[in-house]
Amino acid sequence: MHKSAKVILVVFLLTACATTPISDRQALILIPEWQEIQFGEQAYKKALKDQKDSENTHLNQVLKRVGRQIAAVSAMPKLDWEFRLIESEDKNAFALPGGKVAVYTGMLAICKNEAGLATVLSHEIAHVIARHGAQRMSQQLLLTGAMMGASLSLRNNTQRNIIMSALGLGVLYGVTLPFSRGDEGEADQIGLVYMARAGYDPEEAIRFWKRFSKEKGDKNPPEWASTHPADETRVRGLKSYLSRAKYSYENIKLKHGLGETFNLPVSADKNIPEKPKPVPGVSVETFN
């Protein structure tokens, strides 16, 4: 490579580095934010096309209220945040660039209360704030040598595979690709502070993950074989971040504590639809 070209490349990569809020981690992002948001909105429409929204008015109101409170204290309060409650026994949630967040009703039994729900929502919101989808897309562009930047398009077959994979799906649609352990740990760290700033007791995050671990039982693969951290590792990480979150919590005026405890219907409802099938372009945060 010519010397001047090398200099240009180095300058380009340096200017493409962004500092993530809360974690202060340096991240390489080659995708313009407007384009990342566009991809997220397109994927969100596909994700919800065949999904059934929950008809529980009260729980929908709670979800939107808690989500908006967390989004308001995030680094991107002016995004077009949207929170949807999907009727499904799946214990999952997902977030997409641009502030599109969905939670399955099956998750609420483990959340148990508003602070548990805040744990899930703040984690998902943190993925959006840290722009983990754009980070992964940038890494794949570098690996493929395809420095395409703003010329990326979902209409291009080769580029579509890069985009879909970065947003959470492999080349073969239906194969979900969760974020890396590093991204998961960072989302935990950022989310813990955000839920505290929003007025929810951050210690409930520890209890939530312990409940979730108990729910999963022995289903987890060993940590070395999983992109998600083992539950024990996750809890240790959260405990190490807790002091900062508690400081934020203690210094806000309006505290919700654990908030409302959910009064959930018995899950024997036969009207609950089948487990939703993966949709191309959906970044699903798989908790189970």
Residues known to be catalytic = 124
What would the two tokens of residue 279 be? Answer: 């949709």
For the packed helices 33-48 and 132-144, what is the interaxial angle rounded to 10 degrees?
A: 110
Alpha-carbon distances of 261 from 112, 215, 250, rounded to whole Å: 6, 19, 22
Cβ distance 107 to 92 under 8 Å? yes
- Cα(222)–Cα(70) distance, rounded to whole angstroms? 32
Alpha-carbon distances of 233 from 10, 47, 209, 211, 243, rounded to whole Å: 36, 31, 11, 15, 17
Helix locations, 49-170, DSSP H:
57-72, 108-111, 114-129, 132-144, 157-167
- Cα(127)–Cα(121) distance, rounded to whole angstroms? 10
For 211, left (φ over 0), alpha (ψ -120 to 50), or beta?
Answer: alpha
- Cα(85)–Cα(53) distance, rounded to whole angstroms? 6
